[in-house]
Amino acid sequence: MHCRLLRLCLALLLGCVAGLPVWGQVSTGQLSGTVTDPSGAVVSGATVTVTQKGTGTTRAVTTGENGNYTVPLLPPGFYKVEVTAANFRKSVLEDVPVRITENTTADLTLQVGDVGGEVVVVSAEGALVRTDSSSQGRVIEERSIRQLPLPTRNFQQLLTLSAGTSANIANTSEVGRGDTAINVNGQRTTSNSVLINGIDANSIGTGSTPNLAVPATDALQEFIVLTSQYDASAGRNAGGIVTAVTKSGTNEFHGNAYFFLRDTSLNANNFFLKRQGIDRRTNERYQYGGTLGGPIVKDRLWFFGSYQGTRETNGTSLTNSLSVVGTAPDLTDDRSDAALAALSRARAPGLALFGQLGFVNPVARRLLQARYPDGSFLIPSGNGQIARILPTLSKFREEQFNANVDAQLGSANRLAVKFFFANNRIDQGLFSQFGLANALQTPGYPVRTEANNRFLSVTDTHAFGSGLINEARFGFNIIPSTAVPTEPFTAAQFGINSPNRGRFPGMPAIGLTNLFTAGPSGFSASDNQADTLTAGDTVIYAIGNHALKFGGEYRYNRVRVDFDVFARGSITFTGALANLAQLAPLFTAGRRDAFTEFLVADAFPGFNPTFSIIGPGAAKRQVRAHDFALFFQDDWKIHPRLTLNLGVRYDYFGPFFDTEGRFVTFDPDRFRANAPGNGFLQAGNASPGVPNVPKVERGLVPPDRNNFAPRIGFAFRPLESNRFVIRGGYGIYYDRPNSRVVNNQGLTYPYYTLALAQFSRPLANPFVPIPQQYPVGFPFTVPNDLFNPSLPVGPTNQPAIVIPVQGIYVNRNLRTPYVQQYSLGVQWEFIRDTQIEIAYVGSVGRKLTRFRNLNQTTSPNAVGTFTLSPLLSTIPTIGFGVHAQETTANSSYNSLQISVTRRLAKGLQGLFAYTWSHTIDNYSGQITSLGTSDVSADVGDQATFAGTRGTADFDRRHRVVASFVYDLPKLYQGDNLAAKLFLNDWQIAAVSIVQSGLPFSVVSGRGLFDASRADFAPGFRGSAARSGNVRDRLDSYFNTGAFVVATGVGNFGNTGRNILRGPAQANTDISIVKFFPIGERQRVEFRTEFFNAFNQTNFANPVSAGAPLVPGGAPLNPNFGRILSTSTGPRLIQFAFKYSF
């Protein structure tokens, strides 16, 4: 790929067009065709005039010697095509559709006669089969966007209608916009690119679809999802390219007003709420708005505007409103001192050896007895249950508008200026933002989050004569986001001493591994912003059989990061000490868990089971990066039946850097204990910088300037007819990494130091002092006694230890990820208005990002009996959380994709898509509510990644999606007005999805230092999967007896990655619409929409962490193997009213 000859050829090719205005991706379509006479001979020199139906604007070209014409860079819509030539009658094609990024073929056969004689008018059908392109993708036009049922009327929910795409089914229970993170042809959710009106709409901060600009569906003209083999003008990412266009005004006034209503009384109840005896929760949503567009100056100047407001009160969100947690079954609502003492005696009878039978830690007692203002406990009761659903409420509010102006500046120039504004606020009952949240969080600490959008696009299209068109684009995309927590309790109320009590008096988070976390999130206070400024230009030149396209783009990326990370602290009980061989006899079997450690913490000298972390707050960075791209594309029709798509693209993705030089990386190969620098490197623009640390590039890594991406494809018509085509291609696609890894430089030593203490501090004083900016220990000395060495007996004299090194560092060999895509398929219009497409689509990914834990233990014999003191000697680098981002992961994808498309005819249009696929990789990123976060290491051996190759975390082997919109025939033709109103003008639409479940690994979940998969139990053979109805397996979805904890440091489990698969998903959404026409140009519309119409319960994956320590023993997590929640919501019903003119 990177051979010297190829690089030289590509450089020469780019050099040939370097003198032209090259600055690539457009939001327009193209018309082309061939003009012939009645004998089939081509007609050269004919004048072809295309007129946009809505605005009356025209563009004229002349056919070449081969009779071909091309009219590029046309706004999507319907056009009239007029052809005149000497000795031929004028011919007109009416209502020719032009779709975004696609070429519409409009061939005309002229009739001999006087050019001024009778005009030949033909109604255009538009070709269903694309005969000149190898790309895979699908346009979703206005009617589908407007009429298909969408749970939150978010166009992202239509992105997965195409074959090759997959995502979780839209969860109707969720609060907010209902953003959808999609995987396209085996790529991560962070590998897609979104453009709106030709301008980059991505978040450089996250790289995924949530929080992007989402114009109201009534403001969208159409959009397309390009899934593979797209030409050289499209790039930035290696997954899907989503391109959307908002509406423009026309020469006639058009608009609408609408109101959508969702009420709790119409909804079904969540399966697990009903199972637990909890009534259905509030889910009320109101959405209202309108659009207006028309002429300012007819044929010259037009406007379009839209407004939409949304209000939602939600108690059903599985992310923000329903907390599914583990609980101590013997903890009841009786929280008296006597009841808690009895609980302690039952769980820890061995404390009698120390004269502490019935001991309850004083801090734990206060926490257990604390109540919120509504009377609920801070620490939830089990009341006989090992898992509970704890409900709360969330609220969503959105205001958005579009303001668009289009102007025809003379006959050859068109200017479009479009602005989008949105403010989105969620009062989250349970905090989750950017995929960051407490594990198993309990209600009581709501957070107000905002994610807003400011988006501008300016596009100027100019025709330089018949064959040369230029489009220049400029715009910006601004995404500010904030999170402001509430704090009902302080640390002092419970007797917890915090070094931050002056600035951050709130209580710390209290986490019990495998059970719950109470209190604030460590990331719930933030003020961030991600911006991208885009400037680009595309030139299209038609000459002979060649349609040339070349250009480029520049993007300036800016990210502001400001988190108060762990400023209130976090205290975790893991259950690790209660399971040590020396301590286990003190506790009741089946109760050796994190709750017992919490209850009796500090009961005897040396028993300090807290793991604490606290930071100074205000982790800030100002991140920047510069990107640019150049491309050249030649669509060469070498034969009337064969078109070659030849292109090359060059992408430069500038390394991220901090304007103040506060970037540091760590190179383990340079680490020397107690030596100056200790393996650290710092940004070259650091001023003054850290003493004794060498400086490197300001982005820490050398720029990767080798990103040349050749692309080749073909489209071949073996028959004379335009109804059958064979297409295929190959291309290289580079993937722009997002800034999440360098955003975490704000949490990286030495500019930000977290103070950690493990098993050495009492609960009343759990935190060590927070060091100032790179003070002690840089270079630091190895402490002799980092951990309590002698459990469970004897007094200890533990020093206060701060572990100064933590962070996510960047590997110096970081390179740009890339994917090689290839496909071969056929497309056939087998009956009128209906076509089938069958394709093999595959890809391989190389140099993909992954995270590596640099600090896993290295000796398999170091721990033995679980005494923790020797463990320090097995850690290669002092500290915790020392991770590196690398580009060493690989992937492969193979698929069979079948789709059937029905073009609107006789009132019916529809789409059916089936995908069989298998994605294999050795790192998928971590799946969160945001999509793929890519910011943490996977489980397993971090030194060799042995055993990590397997089915990808997001793999869905089978996926079927069907959608249609059908205008029912008029049933009554008489004059009875009531019969007309009741029997005529009905429409039904639906979207139905059936797909495989997601795979999962079985994890030890021990809570110690090694993140490992489980071992198979001795003697087990076969598969641990169980068959049968999922409802019959909710408490044991798989064979839990097949697994045990992988014991011993350096044992990462002998089970494979993602060897089991979760429950399949199925969902159908239906809308029933009644129209009431008012004259020729007005109508009223009443809609009833049923989301999850058949109330199918789709279950989430089971709890897969916390296997037993020994065969047949109690699992470390009492919910191991159990399914505790659903992945989608129950049936919801929504009513709507819309008036259009």
- Confidence check: pLDDT of 889 > 90: yes
Q: Is residue 262 part of a domain?
A: no
- Confidence check: pLDDT of 753 > 80: no
pLDDT tens by residue, 464-494: 977 899 999 999 999 999 999 999 999 999 9
Q: Is residue 81 part of a domain?
A: yes
Mean pLDDT of 527-545: 94
Residues in the chain: 1141
pLDDT confidence of residue 1046: 86
Q: Is residue 50 part of a domain?
A: yes
- Confidence check: pLDDT of 864 > 50: no
What is the residue range of 86's domain?
29-123
Helix (H) or strand (E) holding 16: helix 4-16
214 or 9: whose pLDDT is higher? Answer: 214
pLDDT tens by residue, 680-727: 889 999 988 888 889 999 999 999 999 999 999 999 999 988 899 999
- Confidence check: pLDDT of 182 > 70: yes
How far is it, in rounded angstroms, from Cα 12 to Cα 525?
52
Of the ranges 199-213, 794-808, 940-954, which one carries the lowest mean pLDDT score?
A: 794-808
Mean pLDDT of 627-651: 96
How far is it, in rounded angstroms, from Cα 457 to Cα 200?
9
Cα-based torsion angle of the residue sequence 299, 301, 304, 305 in order, rounded to the nearest 10 degrees? -150
What CATH code is carried by the domain that includes residue 92?
2.60.40.1120
Q: Is residue 116 part of a domain?
A: yes
pLDDT confidence of residue 300: 95
How distant is the alpha carbon of residue 105 from its chain centre? 35
Of the ranges 124-133, 135-144, 195-204, which one carries the lowest mean pLDDT score?
A: 124-133
pLDDT tens by residue, 952-962: 999 999 999 99
Contact 180, 157 (CB under 8 A): yes
The total number of structural domains in the chain stands at 1
Q: Is residue 73 part of a domain?
A: yes
Mean pLDDT of 414-428: 97
- Confidence check: pLDDT of 384 > 70: yes
pLDDT confidence of residue 940: 80
58-62 and 47-52: which strand pairing? antiparallel
Q: Is residue 256 part of a domain?
A: no
CB neighbour burial string for 706-745, b if at least 16 within 10 angstroms, e if fewer: ebbbbbebbbbbeeeebbbbbbbbebbbbbbbbbbbbbbb
812 or 789: whose pLDDT is higher? Answer: 812
- Confidence check: pLDDT of 1011 > 60: yes
Mean pLDDT of 740-748: 76
Mean pLDDT of 533-561: 94
Contact 767, 761 (CB under 8 A): yes
The tally of CA atoms less than 13 A away on the side-chain side of residue 714 is: 10
pLDDT confidence of residue 1004: 84
Closest CA to 879 of 606, 706, 680, 601: 680
How far is it, in rounded angstroms, from Cα 827 to Cα 817?
31
pLDDT tens by residue, 452-466: 999 999 999 999 977
- Confidence check: pLDDT of 1022 > 60: yes
Mean pLDDT of 1027-1037: 95
- Confidence check: pLDDT of 6 > 50: no
Residue 228: pLDDT band by 50, 70, 90 thresholds?
Answer: very high
Query: Does the predicted TM-score (pTM) go above 0.85?
Result: yes
- Confidence check: pLDDT of 531 > 60: yes
Cα–Cα distances in angstroms (integers) from residue 231 to residues 24, 142, 649, 725, in the given order: 10, 24, 9, 18
pLDDT confidence of residue 773: 53
pLDDT tens by residue, 1119-1128: 999 999 999 9
Q: Is residue 927 part of a domain?
A: no
- Confidence check: pLDDT of 5 > 60: no
pLDDT tens by residue, 661-679: 989 888 877 776 656 566 7
**In sequence order, which residues have a C-beta less than 8 Å from that of residue 540 and are 6 or more positions away?**
70, 72, 73, 468, 469, 470, 471, 547, 548, 549
Q: Is residue 108 part of a domain?
A: yes
Mean pLDDT of the chain: 88
Of the ranges 16-30, 778-792, 915-929, which one carries the lowest mean pLDDT score?
A: 778-792
Sort 450 into a burial class: Cβ within 10 Å, 0-12 / 13-18 / 19+: middle
- Confidence check: pLDDT of 770 > 60: yes
Residue 868: pLDDT band by 50, 70, 90 thresholds?
Answer: very low
For residue 421, which amino acid is it? F
- Highest mean predicted confidence (pLDDT) among 10-24, 53-67, 1091-1105: 1091-1105
- Confidence check: pLDDT of 769 > 70: yes
pLDDT tens by residue, 327-357: 999 999 999 999 999 999 999 999 999 999 9
**What percentage of the chain has pLDDT greater than the value 70?**
89
Of the ranges 157-171, 927-941, 987-1001, which one carries the lowest mean pLDDT score?
A: 927-941
Contact 689, 661 (CB under 8 A): yes
Residue 870: pLDDT band by 50, 70, 90 thresholds?
Answer: very low
